[in-house]
Structure formats: C-alpha cells, structure tokens
A and B are shown apart, each in its own frame.
Chain A
Amino acid sequence: MKNKKYTNAGLRVLETLKVLTKQPLSPDEMLRYLESTTNNFYRKELILKYLNTFRLLNINIEKINGKYFIKKNPDPVHLDKNDLAIMLFIKNYINNIGYESFKNNIFESLEIIERSFSGETDRLAKTLNIKPYKPKKNPDIKDKNIIKFEKYCNDKLRIQIKYKNYDSNEVISYKLSPLNVIYKKGKAVLIAYDNKDNDYKEFILENIVAVSQSPQKQQKASPSSVLFKLYGRLAHSYMLKKNETVIESGDDYIIISNNSEDRELLIRRLLRYFDKCEILYPKSCRKRLLEIVNEMEAIYA
C-alpha cells in the first residue's frame, strides 16, 4: 500500500534515479520510460533539473553520446586487496573459458562490481600493484566444442552421442536430453538426462567422440531415485547433498533418496562409507556396487 503523505516532486526525482540504474538513456528516452512506468507527469526540463540535483549530491552521472548513465553506484561496495586479487583471478579464469553465456554473465557481474567500487576501493585498485590470487594449482581449462554443446542445451532438442569410456577405448552410444554444462576441475562436463536409464548422467566433453542433434524435443525428466541406508555414526553426521532427502530415519540409521547424481559416480561415493552404507534400490545399482567390489577384489587376487 502506498504511503499517503509524500511529495510528488521528491518521488519523481527518485524514480528518475531508479531509471538510470537500469540503462543509459537520453532525456527524451527517460521521459518516455518514466511516463510509461509511473503514474507521474514529467517534462524534459524537469528531468534536467533532476540531473542537477543528482550532481549536487555527488551521484556520479555521465553523459556519453547524448545518453546519461550512472557511472558509479550510489551505494558503494568496499573491497580489500584480497577481494581485488580474487576479482583479477576470476577475470583470468573466465577469459580462458569458452562457455559464452556463462562468460558474458560473469563479465557483466564484474562490470557492475567495478562500477560499485567505493572511493577507497578505487584508490586501492589504482595505487596498489595487485596481483591475481594464485591458486595452489593453476586451473587447466579443457572445454573444446563447448559452444556446440551450449547450443544443444539451449535448443532443447535431443542429441545422440558416442562416448569413449575412461578406462577402455570402448565407445558407447547414448540418446540424451542435454541440460547444462558445468566445469569440474577445469574440465567441461555435460549434464544430460538419459531417457532409457531414467537418470541423469555426466559426460566429460573431451571424451565425446561424436555428436548429432535429433529433431525430437526433449522429454521432461522424471528420474527414478536411488535409495541408500546409512548406519551408525555416519547416519548422524551425514550432510545431505543437493536434491537429497531423508525418507526414513531411526535411532541408528537413515534412508536417503537421491535422484540427481550420476549413478556411477554416486556408487563410487557410497563406497567411501565402507560397510556403513547399503544401496537398497534399484537392484541394478545394488548389483553394480557389488560388481565393482568383486572387480576390485580380482585386481588383488
């Protein structure tokens, strides 16, 4: 509900400032924008008067090619030299990445942050010779063909891939609904829904040897869950992962449902828990875990 006692002129000045935080505008454009989005009446002279008011209050407004824009955020962000070192690290890291929309969004964010620097932060950035944060290990980015996969994800059509197994040279075909591309230790990984197995799978891009897009639209993902039981102290201290839920718990156990993790990777993670974890459902995952255990035993036989 609007507050009753307020000044119209004051509100007009504030609305004008709000508009300028959205995009650079000429006085005419500001006029049109304000009249279409507010109930107030504006004149061009008023807009110019308001711009003077901003300047008087040291709000950094610049005019380039007839358009006004807020050069500096009125509510600044104070960063120290560690923050600035992280910003430089992010710039370098993102520069090496090929995932266009991701890259653009991060650069856009960095620009907004830079325009929000406080005076002191600006001074630090200009006077100190700040070096990018040096990670323990330099990230080695591997994301060849990512632009193609970015497009596949946006098209929302199904794809068929040929995937080279990690440990053998065996090539397996999959029909998938591509959902997203993420980076794990610098390697681009495709997250996709496999309709046949009814689960999400991860594919390292550099191991995809062939890909083709089909005209079929993606089907809605309705993955089945993997249920596992944890015993003893693990049951009390387990931290749920993204999209995991506890479906049953007792004094000394919990049963967890997971429907978002690549099953092969999930099984390996659950092996970490020794005999304090048991996969209950589906049988195929239970069987696969025992298969892995048998194969590991065979290595040492």
Chain B
Amino acid sequence: MTVDHAANGQEALSRIAAATDLDTLEGLRVSLLGKQGSISALLKTLGAMSPDERKVEGPKIHALRESVTEALAGRKAALENAALEEQLAAQTIDLTLPAPESPRGSIHPISQVMDELAEIFADMGFAVATGPEIEDDWHNFTALNMPESHPARAMHDTFYFPDRDAENREMLLRTHTSPVQIRAMIDVVRESPGGAPLRVIAPGRVYRSDSDATHTPMFHQIEGLVIDKGIHLGHLKWTLETFLKAFFEREDIVLRLRPSYFPFTEPSVEVDVGYTIVNGKRVVGGSEGWMEVLGSGMVNRKVIAAGGLDPDEWQGFAFGTGVDRLAMLKYGMDDLRAFFDGDVRWLSHYGFSALDVPTLSGGVGTAA
C-alpha cells in the first residue's frame, strides 16, 4: 500500500490556508493532528511497518506532520494578527480631543526674587535673619539712632498701634528691615559674648503710610549687615557691585555712590545704578542715566553700641533695598500695585514655576 503523502499534504495545506477563522483552523488541527486525526493515524502506522518500510515512510510522514504543524501555526498567527488589527482599528480614538489638564501653579515674583537674593548672598557668606513686623519703636527707631524728636522719624510715615509693650515702648509696623540689624547683633552677642563677626541679610515686609501710583503701604525690603574688623566703604562698594552683577547677571553694572544721610549709618551713601534705555524701557547696565536703588553706609557707632557691641572694636556696613523694585527692574513689571492683587492672570504671566529654583550653578535668574 502506498499513500500519496505529497498529495495529502498539499490538500491539507491548502485547506489550512483557506481557513478564515480560528475555529475552522482548530477543526483542521483536530482532524489532522488530533488523536483521531489523519496524520496522527499515519504516525500510528509506522509501528506496524517493517524497518525498511519505516525507513522510507517515516521521514515522509514526519515531514508531512511538520509542514502541517507549521502551516497551522502560521495560519493561526496570521488570523490572530488580523483579528487584533481589526480590534485595534475598532478602538481608534480621536487624539485631537483635549487630554485632562492639570492646573499649573506658580511662585510669586517676590518670593522668587527673595530666593535669588538669599542664594547670591549665601555665596558671600550672609545668613538670613528675620524679625517681627509689628515692632516696638526702640528697635525701629531709637536703637537706630532716631530718638523720639528726630526729624527722620516723621519722614518715615509710620503706622502706629495704640498699644505699648511691657517696657512701655510704642508698637508700630516696622518702616524698614533695619530693626533686624539690632536684633541680629543682640542675638549674636547673646550666643557668643563679645559677639561678631556677623554677616546677615534680612528680607521681609515693611510698611509706610504712603499710597500712590508708585508706593504701596506694604512693600518688601532686604537689609544687609556686615560687622567685622577693618570693614570699610570699599568693602561695601564691592559687595553691592557683586550683588547687583550677580542679580542682573550682567558685567556692565555701574554704580554711582552719592553721599546721603541715614541716622543709622555714618558715613551714609546712596547708591545709583546706571541704566540704558532699550525700547523705551530702562534696563539696568551701562550708564545712560542713573536710578537710585540702595541706601547704605557704615554702621553708626551708636547703632553698634545699641546692638551690644563695642564700637571701638567692631565696625561694618549696612544696606537696604526694595525687593519689589528689584523684581520690577529685573523682570519688567511696571505696576507695583498688581503685586498685591492676586489676579491669577498676572500671577500666571509673571509668576515662576516651582521648578525654577534659583541656584548658583544653574543661574539665579529665570530667563523670560
């Protein structure tokens, strides 16, 4: 008996190729390779064959089984693939539809600039100090060499409370961050008698009873204080130059120092920074014109003494500037009042990302 394996094979393969669904294919597999399947039956015949016969028939039958198995698998994969493609095609969605939005938060420019300043001054060894905003008149005025009748007191447009503290000091809203100078000195003396050296900056809210287009009754200042031995005006000049160059990230920062008067410094110096006009706006750098940015000077001996230090031993400088103004100059806002309105449109436009953390390595400023 001779079986035409080739013909059987051809027929099986064409049936497999013609199968259009997985069920049909499975039926074919059972009928060919299942226990009762035709190829399984052929395999069984091998046992009854003579060795010679088997030598001839064996490879043919095995080849047949292999080709059918392969065809079944190939056809199955093709059908599954087609089914998957059909399914995926059915699952197509319109990806031009909007994805869910997550809200974008922002950091207020004042906070951002304060962080920038802290970063710049940390590099120069300045620690950050704070003090109360509701102050007593001793810290805000008297200790800063502004006794009660001092005309400079009247110039401060002070907000007063009707209250007095336990030492009968008049309570007020601090008019500048300078009282933190006194507190920082007293603290350092308490911690290490004899005190000093000291390098601090004190950023924070300050208040003047003044309100017009360019003044708000609340604004922000940053104060700097260095107390050490042998510190003079030259150090002050360098510190302010270095700070402004780092803050504005420009080398062409030109400072003009003018003699001035603050009761708490002697000599006192007002600092102008040069600007150039670019597209009708003042840009810091160059020297087409000058604008006032800082008040500063060598700390008055009386102030050093009020801080509990010996003015014959210690000397130093102090400076103060407006944080809001620095922010405006750097980032281009022109309306101070908008800083305190909480308008989300303004906050979105002028605010900073949480990830814009000022660092010295990455640059303290955030590019527009």
A binds B: no
